[in-house]
Each structure stands twice: as C-alpha cells, then as structure tokens.
Amino acid sequence: MSSPAIVLDQQLLTAAAEAAGFMPADEGRALAEAALAAPGGPILEVGSYLGKSTLYLAAAARARGGRVVTVDHHRGSEEHQVGWEYHDPGLVDPLVGRIDTLPGFRRAIALGGAEDVVVAVVARAEDFAALWSTPLAFLFLDGSHTDESAQRDLASWAPHLAAGGVLAIHDVFPDPADGGQAPYRIYRKALDSGDYTELTGCGSLRLLRRSPAS
C-alpha cells in the first residue's frame, strides 16, 4: 500500500494569503510547494518583513514535520525607509526612531498559528550565516534589494545549500521597467556559475536546484 501524499498545511496557506506583505498568492503557493518538494533538511528564509512569505514556508515545514528558520534584522530594507516608496510610518518605533517590523512579524506568526514551526533569528543575514553549519534543503533569498546586500546574501548563504537543495529568489525582473535589478543579478550570477539548474518558477519567483557536483 502506497503512503499518502504529503500536502501543504491549508490553515497556514490561508493565513499567509491574508497576511500583510508583498508576496502574490500564486508565487507564495509556488514557494511553499517548492519547499515541500525539497530534499530533507532545514528551510531557511533571508528577509521576512511582516511574515507573509514565512507563513507560506511554514505551510511546507509543518507538512514536512520540520521548521522554517528566518533571519532578518527587522529594521527594514532601503525601500522601507523614510522618503522611499514602501515606507510605512506605522512601522517606526517612536522611542528609537527606526523601522521595527519584528512586532508585526510576531503578530502574523502568532495569528497564523505557526509559532511551533517558525524559528525567528533577529540578526544581519551575513552575521548569522557565519554561525550556521547545517546544510540547507531550501534557501529563500528575499532580503534588501540593493546590489550590495543582495550579493552579500548570496555569497554568505549559498555555500550552505546542500547538493540537490533548492535556491529560491524573489522579485526577479529581467526588464528594469518592472522592478529593481539586484535580485535579477544574483539570479543570473547563480545560474551562470554552472552550479545550478533552473526549475519551473512562478511570476517573479525563480527556483534553482544546486547540482550534486557543485
């Protein structure tokens, strides 16, 4: 008798779709499905903002019987700062005078019922990468979209991806008129390295499998 198919946690998919953030529902589900299908091992997200994409990954983590680890300094990306397009004054801590997305993130994870499968690390991604040692099954890069930070995220975390593991990159827009180019450049850098083969993505979400020999 064959084993029943493992399916995504529907409660968490619904919570993700309803949460605040910038992940379209079709891309979020594709992200969750890719994480569900990845080989055994940890799922890690770089850049979680208010937790929308984290909930999609949590839907896969719960189905896999594992957890998703997130790393974010929660001070907001460049585009979230004062004077930028995605600045939200409601996310500024009045006592500190800086963006603080951690309370909103924790609220979304709690309301979504995902506290048992989400391990949140408050740190700069490159600092945490220096302490990490477990090979990753799935790595999602969706941090700051400047060239410097995107390149730094790729350089610090891609070496931790296991052979056969999946690298996901969000907001990849080949046409500059559609969006920023930093995620597109790290996507091209990874693909052009010869260490990855491309899987079927969705919208601005690109999926790459690390080659066994890389």
User: Of 36, 28, 27, 37, nearest to 202 (Cα)?
Assistant: 27
Pull the structure tokens for residue 179: 């969006």
Q: Comparing C-alpha atoms, which of 207, 123, 199, 130 is closest to residue 168?
A: 207
Q: Which of 74, 80, 145, 170 is catalytic?
A: 145
- Asked if 206 and 187 touch (Cβ cutoff 8 Å), the reply is yes
- DSSP class of residue 8 equals -
Q: Would you state the structure tokens that stand for residue 153, as one six-digit string?
A: 């995220």
**Is 145 a known active-site residue?**
yes
Cα–Cα distance, 19 to 53 (Å, whole number): 9
Beta bridge partners of 167: 139, 208
Alpha-carbon gap, residue 197 to 172, rounded angstroms:
16
Q: Are 192 and 159 in contact (CB under 8 A)?
A: no
Catalytically active residues are 145
